[in-house]
Amino acid sequence: MTKHPIAILISGRGSNMRSLIDACAQPDYPARIALVLSNRPDAPGLETAREAGLNTVAIDHRPFGKDRAAHERAVNAALRDAGVEIVCLAGYMRVLTPYLVHAWQGRMLNIHPSLLPAFPGLHTHAAAIAAGASTHGCTVHLVTDGVDEGPILGQADVPVLKDDSPDTLAARVLSQEHVLYPAVLAQFCETLDTHQ
Ligand code: GRF
């Protein structure tokens, strides 16, 4: 079985990264982690990745100022150097320019905490409650130029309960994210295998 080399891009705590680390540790899982990359050198998830013995790199966006493309060129070089085949965004809090999106077209996945196309952007849990949604959830999709707009690869539903706050709902969605992302990535790898 081919273990496809992936990169996980994070900006924060990295709980979805953790679920991918655990999945990749299984001998029969079709991916391995070639790189964990963060735009924030102080992201707690970087420490988790280091403790797991993974190859990590921080490419701070701040020294690049407004030059998003220059930051992305550095990110892209690190991805290529590590021999990455698939990029998994997992709480990577940067809006990407067409440069990076096109460089990884069809090979870059993102997890978003809503049932897209409902509630793109930030604060999805508060938005779902405010809209009176009875069902909420999470989506793994391919990344395209439009934010949170690419083809959907998988979704998981959770009910919105009467007494939910954005935090209680977020926690219920997050536990589904941790199941959905590894499952969709495995399926995605298998699709690559059948088309190679
Ligand atoms: C998750 O809710 C994910 O859906 C969103 O950002 C959050 C990242 O959380 N894109 P974590 O860093 O994986 O814990």
pLDDT tens readout for residues 112-157: 999 999 999 999 999 999 999 999 999 999 999 999 999 999 999 9
Provide the whole-model pTM. Answer: 0.97
Ligand 1 test: best mutation among 16, 88, 152, most atoms within 8 Å of CB? 16
Taking alpha carbons only, the member of 69, 45, 67, 68 closest to residue 57 is: 45
CA of 140 to the centre of ligand 1 (A): 11
Ligand 1 lined by 12 (C-beta under 6 Å): yes
Taking residue 69's Cβ as centre, other Cβ atoms within 10 Å add up to 13
Ligand 1, atom 12, residue with closest C-alpha: 14
Name the pLDDT band for 190 (thresholds 50, 70, 90): very high
Using a 6 Å cutoff on CB, does residue 150 contact ligand 1? no
Choose which residue among 177, 179, 181, 185 to substitute to test ligand 1 binding: the one with the highest number of ligand atoms within 8 A of its C-beta: 177
